[in-house]
């Protein structure tokens, strides 16, 4: 018999299998021996177990059957199917149930992680197996992002297309859930459907046999009867030399035997030979990402649902506060700020060392209480407990960026968070937004946007921000539209996608009718969404000149978020234009009382005071010039209605007002004010 050393085999496979356009492609024929390291008994072990059960539990006539068939414990493996049939002849369902229970909760061994990489990353993408288990597909789902075509029944063979790059798993004795074949009459002949598939496979691929003892006639008869393809064959075995029948087939195929240490062991060598990677870090990052998405989805539901029964369900499942997350869920499910705060305070007493709960509490203090001083203290306490907890450093960076305006410190924590978790698409996308809006470093911002979308192509906020970046900064309106159209396919019922797509169509494409369709669709999906109301109100004001109708949506946005300075400035202007001067002044004062860290927001509010309150214009004028000297601009703002109002009311500083507005919208330089 032709035999090559294990190391020679590994070098040969490594040399040819990794070539992306090479002529040699390999498929794997796996038997029960490949599943043994995962904890599934081999056919020989099961046959011996059933043999002993027949002797121990069955009638003397049944025991005589073993003698008549010349079966003893030492050769039980050769009679696997007949022993199985005898053991479960009284109830076939018991046999199926036994096999299912044997394979339940089994995790793929290390070797399957390597096999999954080979199937998904190379052209060697086919597994043929006599096993019923799901180890190969489980490994692909666990260790890769490739979804396999699993043919667990001969009726599915018409769907096997060998030109695909998708991994293909051919279970010629069926899957464990599809009445697997174990009886002698079922294993005597391979179905014609499988013969047609395997013929095409063997014409294309060189088989590598691992863990298969050749104890069923179906595959062995077929391999014996077909003409060898000339591509050869590698038959791997562990200890005992193969039987004569196997030797005859390997010789017929002009193949080689390889004495290997075991399935996991040979896969470890292939890992090195094919320059694949150990996956411990990948597994950890995927688990973190899944855990985060799971929590985010549950928390979003608890936070946003209006259904009392659903809120009550969250309160019920988290009522015992066995973990920090129970506290967090219970707090998010509460309606009132007071109730939320009480739950957090009691939870922190119980889980005082939970850096995770502290972050959630800090976010609550920031978003619901507006207590930035205490929020910062809690953020820092969480980071002190666990400096590597990237969710804490990420949220703290966003807090410094949005609330405090300490941009150097914010950038420091963005970088620390990304260093702790370089696969965190959300933080990477937020940092891209920071680089765009604060640093004005557009090339670097785009780099981080793209990196975020490579990690998570469906990231909602990164796609939204990147679409705006493409349209407003890069002036690539077509590409921006493609981003939003992709988002609409992913989130067809998300009002915010329709809102921002409408904004793009309004401001960049000037497709006003289509923009309004998306605004209205957004409001139909969720009439209580802030962006939808605020943006549509601006659209009605600037494009449709429907000032009175716009008021309804400005006020609705104010009801949803009374502290949003962008909306306060627009609402104030709306009230002034409607002749409601007292209301307009009240909204301006509300906005200015918040002392925003963003000069653009202040610019909008002081502009309204300057334009619409001419008796108070000197202070407003002076403040506007200070803000303009600091670099604040509102490039896409529309002051036309304000200017018209000022002219109609004979504003005392009309000439200078027009110059200041031109600088605000970046159509004139500061020197024009001197």
pLDDT tens-digit map of 145-168 = 889 999 999 899 888 888 888 999
The predicted-structure confidence for 226-279, as pLDDT tens digits, reads as follows 876 678 899 999 887 888 999 999 999 999 999 999 999 999 999 989 888 888
Total residue length of the chain = 674
Q: Give residue 508's pLDDT band: very low, low, confident or very high (50, 70, 90).
A: confident
Most confidently modeled of 12-16, 87-91, 560-564? 560-564
Q: Give residue 95's pLDDT band: very low, low, confident or very high (50, 70, 90).
A: confident
> Percent of the chain having pLDDT more than 70?
98
Distances (CA, A) of 624 to 451, 539, 605, 611, 663: 38, 25, 10, 11, 10
**In the predicted structure, residue 64 carries a pLDDT above the cut 70:** yes
**In the predicted structure, residue 315 carries a pLDDT above the cut 80:** no
Indicate the SS3 state at residue 235.
strand
Is there a contact between 81 and 183 (Cβ–Cβ < 8 Å)? yes
Assigned token pair, 175: 């899957």
Task: Residue 367: count other Cβ atoms within 10 Å of its Cβ.
Answer: 11
* CA 324 – CA 327 distance, rounded (Å): 5
The answer to which of 57-71, 151-165, 487-501, 510-524 has the lowest mean pLDDT is 57-71
**In the predicted structure, residue 612 carries a pLDDT above the cut 90:** yes
Question: What confidence score (pLDDT) does residue 228 get?
Answer: 67
DSSP 261: S
Instruction: Write the DSSP string, 459-519.
Output: -HHHHHHHHHHHHHTS--HHHHHHHHHHHHHH-TT-HHHHHHHHHHIIIII--HHHHHHHH
Q: Which residues pair with 208 in a beta bridge?
A: 28, 234
Question: What confidence score (pLDDT) does residue 226 get?
Answer: 86
Fold of 301-493: 1.25.40
Alpha-carbon torsion (353, 358, 361, 362), positive or negative: positive
242-274: b or e for each residue (b if 16 or more CB lie within 10 Å)? beeebbebbeebebbbbebebbbebbbbbbebb
The answer to which of 77-91, 121-135, 223-237, 444-458 has the lowest mean pLDDT is 77-91
> Percent of the chain having pLDDT more than 90?
60
Question: What confidence score (pLDDT) does residue 601 get?
Answer: 87
Question: What confidence score (pLDDT) does residue 461 get?
Answer: 92
Residues 6+ apart with CB under 8 A from 203: 229
* CA 82 – CA 89 distance, rounded (Å): 10
CATH number of 3-39+109-273: 3.40.50.1220
Q: Give residue 531's pLDDT band: very low, low, confident or very high (50, 70, 90).
A: very high
* Among 448, 457, 395, 396, residue whose Cα is nearest residue 422: 448
The answer to which of 111-125, 295-309, 375-389 has the lowest mean pLDDT is 295-309
Q: Output the pTM of the full model.
A: 0.64
Distances (CA, A) of 497 to 36, 255, 484, 670: 50, 59, 7, 37
Q: Which residues pair with 3 in a beta bridge?
A: 257
Is there a contact between 657 and 668 (Cβ–Cβ < 8 Å)? no
Question: What confidence score (pLDDT) does residue 299 get?
Answer: 76
**In the predicted structure, residue 317 carries a pLDDT above the cut 70:** no
The predicted-structure confidence for 278-302, as pLDDT tens digits, reads as follows 887 778 777 777 777 787 788 777 7
Q: Give residue 430's pLDDT band: very low, low, confident or very high (50, 70, 90).
A: very high
**In the predicted structure, residue 1 carries a pLDDT above the cut 70:** no
Most confidently modeled of 22-26, 82-86, 452-456? 452-456
Alpha-carbon torsion (317, 319, 323, 326), positive or negative: positive
**In the predicted structure, residue 22 carries a pLDDT above the cut 70:** no
Average pLDDT, the chain: 89
Residue range 455-477: average pLDDT? 92
Domains 3-39+109-273 and 301-493 share a fold: no
Domain boundaries in the chain?
A: 3-39+109-273, 43-103, 301-493, 572-673
Distances (CA, A) of 656 to 235, 561, 645: 89, 34, 15
Question: What confidence score (pLDDT) does residue 229 get?
Answer: 66
**In the predicted structure, residue 594 carries a pLDDT above the cut 80:** yes
Question: What confidence score (pLDDT) does residue 519 get?
Answer: 97
């Amino acid at each position: 018999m032709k035999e090559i050393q294990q190391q020679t085999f590994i070098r040969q496979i490594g040399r040819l299998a990794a070539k992306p356009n090479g002529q040699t492609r390999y498929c794997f024929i796996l038997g029960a021996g490949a599943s043994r390291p995962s904890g599934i008994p081999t056919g020989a072990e099961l046959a011996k177990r059933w043999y002993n059960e027949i002797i121990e539990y069955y009638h003397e006539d049944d025991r005589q059957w073993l003698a008549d068939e010349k079966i003893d414990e030492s050769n039980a493996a050769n009679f696997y199917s007949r022993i199985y049939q005898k053991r479960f002849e009284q109830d076939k369902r018991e046999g199926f149930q036994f096999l299912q229970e044997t394979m339940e909760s089994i995790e793929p061994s290390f070797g399957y992680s390597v096999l999954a990489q080979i199937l998904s990353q190379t052209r060697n993408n086919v597994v043929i197996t006599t096993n019923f288990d799901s180890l190969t597909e489980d490994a692909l789902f666990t260790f890769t992002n490739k979804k396999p075509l699993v043919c667990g029944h001969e009726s599915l063979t018409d769907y096997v297309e060998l030109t695909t790059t998708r991994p293909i798993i051919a279970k010629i004795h069926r899957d464990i859930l599809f009445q697997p074949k174990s009886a002698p009459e079922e294993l005597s002949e391979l179905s014609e459907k499988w013969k047609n598939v395997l013929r095409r496979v063997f014409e294309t691929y060189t088989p590598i046999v691992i863990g298969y003892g050749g104890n069923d006639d179906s595959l062995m008869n077929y391999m014996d009867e077909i003409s060898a393809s000339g591509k050869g064959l590698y038959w791997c075995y562990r200890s005992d030399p193969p039987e004569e029948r196997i030797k005859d087939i390997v010789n017929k195929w002009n193949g080689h035997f390889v004495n290997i240490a075991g399935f996991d062991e040979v896969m470890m060598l292939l890992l090195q030979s094919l320059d694949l990677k150990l996956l411990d870090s990948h597994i950890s990052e995927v688990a973190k990402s899944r855990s985060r998405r799971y929590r985010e989805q549950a928390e979003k539901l608890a936070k946003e649902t209006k259904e009392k029964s659903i809120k009550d369900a969250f309160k019920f499942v988290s009522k015992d506060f066995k973990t920090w997350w129970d506290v967090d869920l219970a707090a998010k499910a509460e309606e009132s700020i007071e109730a939320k705060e009480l739950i957090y305070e009691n939870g922190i007493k119980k889980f005082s060392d939970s850096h995770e709960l502290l972050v959630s509490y800090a976010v609550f203090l920031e978003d619901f209480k507006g207590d930035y001083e205490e929020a910062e203290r809690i953020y820092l306490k969480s980071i002190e407990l666990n400096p590597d907890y990237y969710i804490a450093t990420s949220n703290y960076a966003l807090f410094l960026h949005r609330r405090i305006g300490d941009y150097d410190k914010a950038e420091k924590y963005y970088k620390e968070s990304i260093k702790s978790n370089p696969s965190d698409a959300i933080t990477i996308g937020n940092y891209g937004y920071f680089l765009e809006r604060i640093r004005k470093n557009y090339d670097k911002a785009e780099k981080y946007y793209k990196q975020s979308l490579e990690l998570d192509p469906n990231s909602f906020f990164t796609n939204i921000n990147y679409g705006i970046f493409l349209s407003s900064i890069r002036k690539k309106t077509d590409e921006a539209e493609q981003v939003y159209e992709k988002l609409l396919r992913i989130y067809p019922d998300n009002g915010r996608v329709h809102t921002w797509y409408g904004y793009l169509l309004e401001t960049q494409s000037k497709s006003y009718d289509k923009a309004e369709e998306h605004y209205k669709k957004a409001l139909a999906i969720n009439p209580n969404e802030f962006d939808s109301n605020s943006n549509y109100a601006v659209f009605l004001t600037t494009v449709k000149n429907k000032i009175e109708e716009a008021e309804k949506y400005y006020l609705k946005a104010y009801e949803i978020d009374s502290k949003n300075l962008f909306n306060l400035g627009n609402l104030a202007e709306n009230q002034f234009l409607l002749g409601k001067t007292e209301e307009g002044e009240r909204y301006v004062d509300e906005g200015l009382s918040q002392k925003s860290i963003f000069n653009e927001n202040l610019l909008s509010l002081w502009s309204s005071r300057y334009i619409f309150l001419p008796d108070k214009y000197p202070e407003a004028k002076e403040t506007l010039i200070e803000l303009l000297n600091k670099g604040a601009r509102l490039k896409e703002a529309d002051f036309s209605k304000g200017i018209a109002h000022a002219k109609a009311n004979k504003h005392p500083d009309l000439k200078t007002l027009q110059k200041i507005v031109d600088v605000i919208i970046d159509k004139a330089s500061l020197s024009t004010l001197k």
